[in-house]
Amino acid sequence: MNLRTIPIRKVGNRANLFMGGDRELVMFAGLLAFALIFSAQELRATVVGLGIWFFCLWVFRLMAKSDPQMRHVYLRHRKYAAYYPARSTPFRLNMKDYK
């Protein structure tokens, strides 16, 4: 008796990218550039806003090219503690902590 094999299609496993970069980061950078351009309504603000937009898009595309899930990896990395003291088990009572 052979095991039944089910192919895993790429469409269900693909990262959620927009314009080549992480969807949320690209849209948020676009929102910030849009807000800068239309709140200031000056030529300098337009140039700076477009510069910020294209720079962020370039950086987010580089990030997605190296690892499409890099934003999630970075956020999980930030949650880790800087130092984990050596303990044999989480249930051990350390007397120096309770004095």
- Tell me the residue length of the chain: 99
Span 32-78, pLDDT tens digits: 999 999 999 999 999 999 999 999 999 999 999 999 999 999 999 99
* Residue 7 in domain: no
d(CA 99, CA 89): 19
Task: For residue 40, tell me if it sits in a domain.
Answer: yes
pLDDT value at residue 15? 84
Residue 33 within a domain = yes
Question: Does residue 44 sit within a domain?
Answer: yes
- Specify if 51 maps to a domain: yes
What's the confidence (pLDDT) of residue 85? 73
In a domain, 3, yes or no: no
Q: What range does the domain containing 51 cover? A: 19-79
Q: What pLDDT does residue 62 have? A: 95
If residue 21 lies in a helix (H) or strand (E), which one and from where to where?
strand 21-22
Query: What average pLDDT does range 69-93 have in this prediction?
Result: 81
Q: How many domains in the chain?
A: 1
Q: Specify the DSSP class assigned to residue 1.
A: -
